[in-house]
Chains A and B, each alone.
Chain A
């Protein structure tokens, strides 16, 4: 229950943090309220914070926003307390989400830009050094992070800016004692020396391996094609794909066009905190374009900017003020000077019509936004991914519950320690619902292990069986949508398994072998032998043909006919298939009692003669091949 309710609870905290953050940006009280309201319902964040979808990202976004709020406070006040608080929440963020690197780089960037703008002040120095020292110490307490902050390139910018700010502070200090000319000389020589030393040191350390290279996920942020080639496991996740344009509107609705307006307003004021908003906006817009998932980091700043923009509009248009006598008089005075007796225009918006029109249309947009958010939340983000709901022709709801059917079967009818092999997407589901150990799960840090599963799935049975035995696999689970037309099945993910396996065993698995000569990915009669012999293909279509009249078996996902003959499985047997065939579970056979290999044993059971025996009886022939 507590797990169930924590995302909405954190969502509430996020709204509070958003209010505080936006209030720092604007003097208008409505900006904060609007931003908090936007944050509360925008689909970009709701997707992670609906009750029941336990995801650390719901917590992470709260921490992100709150850390930034504290940081702004620290920069504004130049207070050690606020800096220390920033570090504290930064530490929490590090323990919660791998995306903490975003903060690690954004805050130094903010400071760097401030320095470049000539806005260095002791407040910045205090805030940054406090945050960096305490925050880095805090983050190093997390076992997953350890010494990364001083060794990993992802963290180098924070360290660099820390060094820079010391120099700047030193220079600032010296300036008070030296005359201008000498100071200029000293400054130039020092900059040259430091830059040279620092750059040389960085190269030396990188080459010698003390500083780890940038992590793969980071590279894929700059080169969108990088992941597909070098780290297929990252590219295989649909959330890591580049964002499509409609997704921005889908997740943010009218905030997306208020967003530039808000950023523009920040340029107009351009205090320290507005610089922060601008940097954040630019960076996260880029990131959100690269990966769908990073829409999550864009959402907070969009809410801030939209809140600023909308509050600016509403503050202007919702006030029913008449031009005061003073302004009138001023205008008149001006006029009379310039043009003599002409009637005097008063600058400002005072017409009731235009006020009503603008505020009315804004209200309309807000209402549409609420309607949109409700619709998206109920349609796209509230349905659990394991239960597929559809409507029958008579309008009644029909629920396709194959996942849970199979998982509960596993839970009830297999030994407690039965090990399940499946593609990693289903690892946590099997762990949670079937209560059985799995070979790989959604914690994807062990790429080799996942590649092993990919290899087992994409190899011939003779190759796969030893892998399965080595890993003590009892059951293999595959997802097959062919009967129902469920497109998220394993055969559609199969190429990723092949690619990931190929990354580790390029000699044994080749993606090219799974495509026909014309470069098509086919599963019907034309499929390549490698494809037809792969374990995944065999398990998916095993016995599927017998459900149809002869020769008419159809795969509804790939929209093709399936070969007439069912594939044969020697080393496994079908253990369970769910009602709509979405989940198929196969039991790995034990070693044969008589020491035969499985293909011989199966052939014997079918009453086929052993091939070698047949040869021996016949006349001797020379080997022709």
Chain B
């Protein structure tokens, strides 16, 4: 059997290697005093910062002009290297033609002299001299919000602070720029007021939207900082998943797609000044007062999801409720953690369910090739947003599946995922009961995601022949046959001493 396995794996190996996308993300090597070539100019830059959720979501629309004599195609976007690792779902599109999809993006190593790290955007076509293009850059920054005061009473309001630079960090000279901040409410007790940057009040306040700028920054060197700090009310939990392990297991024989997700959740909200008081919490729940604690986690599932479970290290969590939905509408899993999760508290748990495979798997016409389309991320749907520091997605394909390829579905809008070059993909085998070869497993690892990626779809194609499907039953049949034949043979040996 071992010989057999080895040969089959040997046969499989070339096809695995041939799949182009299985490369670990690499960082472009740059010299220690690297500065991006000054070949572009930002004619007009508008940054929208959305603070309505537990993470920062920014979209920058910038009109870029080529000031060089040669056509240029590499646009650099800097981030301080400590922030860089927390930037998630980075995506750049041509604002005029969003349906063309995202530009290819690479990352550089940290540059020692400036402390910056760059995203390098490769424009689809080099930009001719004097020509302009409007880039739509979107990303989210995780763990950028810090609660002030850091500790609060159990029923107090919570305030978060966010610090940024009024001048948008850019590698290039910027002519005009402004920043729009969107707060969750009008309760913004503290914010920096600038003086001398522009005429009139800065920021301009309109409801929950504050606008810094527009500034004329032709004379300002790129990379100049103008620190701004805002502090605003956010009496909601700041849900952060330090690790999500998501397993999707495809079973051709069972016609089943089993999903299991393991969460390591932490609430990054203000911690409690005193200890937890049950009395206060009982009264607060009774009045349905807003709180910085996670009370309940709403978890929409696709229609037709069955057998959901919600367990943690010590068994079934009895405080959950499953609403299956009526066929078409989404099912809803309402999870109530064992205890309210206050700031600084942890909770790890596991949810899982089954789906009918036919809704996800399609057989390519003619050949033994299958196309699997599954959600990349499902996760809770919370109004205050969820951030994922590290996501490990495993797609366990049937035994013997080979020639595995994958891609994500790109639409006209951002799907919340970073470019595929930032995803660490690998193939391995996973053995469970009665497996001979082990099941082919596609593992995708992504850092810094947010629940924006909830709608992202992953498409996996693989080949699975008739022989692959019948390997297990045939192996078991062969094994049992051998056993019975051996028994029959042993039983038919006459060991008696007496003479015949």
Chain A residues in the interface with B (C-beta under 8 A): 387, 399, 401, 404-409, 411-413, 432-433, 543, 546-547, 573-579, 581, 587
Contacts and interface: CB of A to CB of B under 8 A. Distances in A.
Contacts of B318: 387, 399, 401
A407 B312 CA distance: 12
Interface in B14-49: none
A404 to B, nearest CB: 6
Given A408-B338, A409-B338, A574 B276 contact: yes
B432 interface: no
B277 A408 contact: no
B185 interface: no
Contacts of B96: none
Given A399-B318, A404-B338, A405-B338, A581 B278 contact: yes
Nearest to A574: B275
17 contacts: A399-B319, A401-B338, A404-B315, A412-B345, A412-B346, A412-B348, A573-B274, A573-B275, A574-B275, A574-B276, A574-B278, A575-B275, A575-B276, A576-B275, A576-B276, A577-B276, A578-B278
A26 to B, nearest CB: 35
A391 to B, nearest CB: 14
User: For the complex, would chain B's binding face be called helix, strand, loop or mixed by DSSP majority?
Assistant: loop
Contacts of B313: 408, 411
Contacts of B344: 413
B314 A547 contact: no
Given A408-B314, A547-B279, 18 more contacts: A399-B318, A404-B315, A405-B338, A405-B339, A411-B313, A412-B345, A412-B347, A433-B314, A543-B277, A543-B279, A573-B274, A574-B275, A575-B275, A576-B339, A577-B278, A579-B278, A581-B278, A587-B275
Interface in B323-377: 338-339, 344-348
Name the residue among A411, A546, A577, A578 with the largest chain B CB count within 10 angstroms. Answer: A577
A605 B90 CA distance: 51
Nearest to B312: A408
B496 interface: no
B492 interface: no
B282 interface: yes
A574 B345 contact: no
Q: How large is the interface on B (under 10, 10 to 19, 20 to 34, 35 or more residues)?
A: 20 to 34
Interface string B276-307: 11110010000000000000000000000000
Nearest to A411: B313
Interface of B: 274-279, 282, 312-315, 317-319, 338-339, 344-348
Nearest to B318: A399
| Most chain A beta-carbon contacts within 10 A, residue among B315, B344, B346, B348 | B315
B279 A413 contact: no
Contacts of B317: 401
A581 B279 CA distance: 10
Contacts of B314: 404, 407-408, 411, 432-433
Given A399-B318, A408-B312, A412-B345, A546 B279 contact: yes
A477 to B, nearest CB: 14
A538 to B, nearest CB: 16
Contacts of B345: 412-413
Given A408-B314, A409-B338, A574 B319 contact: no
A412 B372 CA distance: 37
A89 B119 CA distance: 72
**9 closest Cβ contacts across the A-B interface?**
A577-B278, A399-B318, A405-B338, A412-B346, A433-B314, A575-B275, A401-B318, A409-B339, A408-B338
A98 B57 CA distance: 65
A474 to B, nearest CB: 13
Contacts of A573: 274-275
A500 B164 CA distance: 63
A408 B314 CA distance: 7
Contacts of B278: 574, 576-579, 581
B276 A401 contact: no
Nearest to A544: B279
A432 B314 CA distance: 9
Nearest to A576: B276
Nearest to A398: B318
B284 to A, nearest CB: 13
Nearest to A407: B314
B319 A401 contact: yes
B253 to A, nearest CB: 24
Contact of B346 (A413, A575, A587): A413
Contacts of A406: 339
Nearest to A547: B279
A411 B339 CA distance: 12
A411 B274 CA distance: 20
B17 to A, nearest CB: 38
Contacts of A432: 314
B228 to A, nearest CB: 35
Contacts of B276: 574-577
Contacts of B277: 543, 574, 577
A152 B273 CA distance: 58
Contacts of A546: 279
Contacts of A577: 276-278
Contacts of A401: 317-319, 338
Nearest to A399: B318
Contact of A408 (B274, B275, B282, B339): B339
A406 B338 CA distance: 8
A413 B277 CA distance: 15
B399 to A, nearest CB: 24
Most B-side CB within 10 Å, residue of A405, A432, A581: A405
Contacts of A387: 318
